[in-house]
A and B are shown apart, each in its own frame.
Chain A
Amino acid sequence: MIKIQREDIDIEGILESVKSPASGGVVTFLGTVRDNAKGRSVAKMSIEVYEAMAVTQLEAIRSEALEKFGVHEAAVIHRYGDLEVGDNIVFIAVAAGHREEAFKACKYVIDELKQRVPIWKKETTPEGEFWVEGEKHE
């Protein structure tokens, strides 16, 4: 399951959706809004997404994770819009036969997401608003 949405994430529902009788575990990653960045305090965050491309890229990353690590199911849900400190941003759940491939696949999905999924964060701080600088590419 891949979803880009404004509303909060139904974590329990996603967990249930990825579980299967053949899976021995589910590894998850939940990204949340931090109250600080680069020494500045962060009050709010605004997230912008190029939705059509983000869905395409996330579908590709999900397929790669399933194939590379032999995991059973993977779900990625990313939010956009205006968020407060502590709010959920992204949730990844990977179900697999054993924990090792599930941990690896979950890390792969979040690392790739941060490299190639067109989503941008802007932080509101006492000194003003700042776009979060993405990592440089080769």
Chain B
Amino acid sequence: MEINIRYFGQFREFTGKREETLEVKQGITVEEMREYVRGIYPKIAAKEEVLVAVNGNFGPLDQVIEASDEVAFFPPVSGG
């Protein structure tokens, strides 16, 4: 299935993309998705902390991602 991924902050620069569509297996979890993206982008893989949000929420790592979900990757936040 196809999943739409958005990148923010430094990860947008690491990937050179604001978003992309990735082909992944059905039933992929947040943790598996994170490993998959780390495998594509060495600079993301090198970061100690990689945050993943699904539909605007920080879910559990074993959460299953659906094709209609919006998945976002970004480094620790630094607002305020």
Contact = CB atoms under 8 A, between A and B. Distances in A.
Given A52-B56, A120-B8, A132 B74 contact: no
- Looking at chain B's contact residues, the main secondary structure is loop
Given A50-B74, A118-B8, A136-B48, A90 B56 contact: no
A49 interface: yes
B6 to A, nearest CB: 7
A48 B56 CA distance: 16
Interface of A: 31, 47-50, 52-54, 56-57, 78, 89-90, 110, 113-121, 131-137
Contact of B77 (A52, A56, A90, A120): A120
Contact of B78 (A50, A52, A110, A132): A132
Nearest to B49: A136
Interface in B53-73: 53, 56-58, 72
